[in-house]
Amino acid sequence: MAEGWVRLLARADGLAQVARVEVPYVSLPAQMRRIKAELMAAIERVLEDGRYVLGPDVEEFEQRFADYVGTKYAVGVGNGTSALVLSLRSIGIGRGDEIITAPNSFVASAACSALLGATPVFVDVRETDMNIDPDLIENGITKRTRAIVPVHLAGHPAEMDALLAIAARHNIPVIEDAAQSVGSMYHGRRTGSMGLTGCFSLHPLKNLHAYGDAGVVTTNDESVYNWIMKARNHGLRTRDQAEFWSCNSRLDTIQAAILNVKLNYLDQWTNERRLLANQYRREMSQVVQVPEEAADCFHTYQTYVIKATRRTDLLDHLHALGVQATVHYPLPIHLQEAAQSLHLRKDDFPVASSLADRIVSLPLFPEMTVAQRTAVIEGVRSFYEC
């Protein structure tokens, strides 16, 4: 096969035709074009209204998002990291505390505790769903453990029943890192509805995203809700009265208006992602390990992560063919320079470290053309079948 070309199979005559197809990892403008008129109308309405900070669209989005997740409350914030930090602050996390989380996520899953002076304590993950292993959590609990932060990685929910049972037994709150899992379900419950809070990122690479940074916290706890509502806005009780020192992490009104439009389409886009993921599974499972959906779970495939042998060569092969596959995340958090003070080694978390050497994120987004989907599938198959 010539470099830079992808096989598109012509089954009619049994011969393989060759054509180049560029496949970006994601195409955000393609989604925008589907709903551009609605988006522009929403933006123009906010511009004409003039309430650009904590305007009525924010409150509308918060109520709708809470209804969607299945919680009493939602608070729009500046980004997913702020959602985690504010959630931990709401339960008084500070210096000397320990927070249990997984080592194979984006760095924010651990940085949220370190930023408050607490220590992230990592627990290895399971090979199957790449989420934190409940069987290992109690080994990480000490008298200083103040919270557990499970990550619903790539859109697949963590094993929450076992995790919540452990948390209840030790009287430790659970803060769900649901940044990658909007719409995902575990035994009929949405991620973000099972812990004390759920923390969502609405970054442009997420399934529900703003056009810039944004995030949201969900909770059923009224006191936590009331505290975060103030904490996201300088700790203000009123415009002129600060109850406590805090940051500015408000969801912009324009972003809320955009999100209100997109929320109407979230389930449709999720179903389209799942259909594509099922196609990938059917047509690539013979040559590579593809993600699976646990029983009674609903995977939203925020990333479609395969486990590959000869990963470097596979990536070179796909890139040469125009398929922009990538890796989330090649260096686990415990091996980051920022984590040096924890004195951890690669083999301290063997499953997470092994996964980091094998995982590949393939392009998957609802607007992919048939040719692009075929290019991804044939790109992977041609590497292992040649």
pLDDT above 50: residue 10: no
Q: What integer is the mean pLDDT of 202-220?
A: 98
Residue at token pair 């009525």: 56
As a whole number of angstroms, the distance between CA 303 and CA 166 comes to 28
Return the structure tokens found at 331. 């260096």
The answer to whether 383 touches 10, Cβ cutoff 8 Å, is no
Kindly list the strands in the beta sheet with 197-201, ordered across the sheet, starting from the edge strand earlier in the chain: 73-77, 215-219, 197-201, 175-177
Give the tens place of pLDDT for each residue, 268-298. 999 999 999 999 999 999 999 999 999 999 9
Q: Please report the pLDDT score of residue 19 as a whole number.
A: 56
**Cα-Cα-Cα-Cα dihedral sign, residues 230, 233, 237, 243:** positive
Q: Please report the pLDDT score of residue 11 as a whole number.
A: 31
Q: What does DSSP assign to residue 349?
A: S
Write down the pTM of the prediction. Answer: 0.94
The answer to whether 201 touches 65, Cβ cutoff 8 Å, is no
Q: What integer is the mean pLDDT of 117-138?
A: 98
As a whole number of angstroms, the distance between CA 134 and CA 12 comes to 50
pLDDT above 90: residue 220: yes
Q: What integer is the mean pLDDT of 366-379?
A: 97
In the chain, what are the domains? Answer: 6-27+265-385 (3.90.1150.10), 33-263 (3.40.640.10)
Q: Please report the pLDDT score of residue 54 as a whole number.
A: 96
DSSP string, 134-163: HHHHHHH--TTEEEEE-B-GGGPPP-HHHH
pLDDT above 90: residue 8: no
At 283, give phi and psi (nearest 5°).
Answer: -100, -5
Q: What does DSSP assign to residue 183?
A: T
pLDDT range class, residue 7, cuts 50, 70, 90:
very low
Task: Give the containing element (helix H, strand E) for 100.
Answer: strand 98-101
Q: Please report the pLDDT score of residue 386 as a whole number.
A: 73
Q: Please report the pLDDT score of residue 153 as a whole number.
A: 98
β pairing state of 145-149 and 98-101: parallel
Amino acid at position 90, single letter: S
Give the tens place of pLDDT for each residue, 26-64. 999 999 999 999 999 999 999 999 999 999 999 999 999
As a whole number of angstroms, the distance between CA 68 and CA 212 comes to 22
pLDDT above 60: residue 3: no
* CA distance readout (Å), 204 to 80, 214, 302: 12, 9, 11
pLDDT above 60: residue 87: yes
Percent of the chain's residues with pLDDT above 70: 95
Return the structure tokens found at 268. 């449709």
pLDDT range class, residue 208, cuts 50, 70, 90:
very high
Q: Please report the pLDDT score of residue 12 as a whole number.
A: 31
Q: Please report the pLDDT score of residue 20 as a whole number.
A: 77
Q: Please report the pLDDT score of residue 145 as a whole number.
A: 98
As a whole number of angstroms, the distance between CA 354 and CA 357 comes to 5
Kindly list the strands in the beta sheet with 185-186, ordered across the sheet, starting from the edge strand earlier in the chain: 189-190, 185-186, 297-298
Q: What integer is the mean pLDDT of 64-71?
A: 98
Task: Give the containing element (helix H, strand E) for 281.
Answer: helix 266-284
Average pLDDT taken over every residue of the chain: 95
* CA distance readout (Å), 295 to 9, 92, 188, 343: 34, 36, 11, 37
Q: What integer is the mean pLDDT of 243-264?
A: 98
Percent of the chain's residues with pLDDT above 90: 94
Give the tens place of pLDDT for each residue, 293-324. 999 999 999 999 999 999 999 999 999 999 99
Give the tens place of pLDDT for each residue, 157-177. 999 999 999 999 999 999 999
At 360, give phi and psi (nearest 5°).
Answer: -140, 130
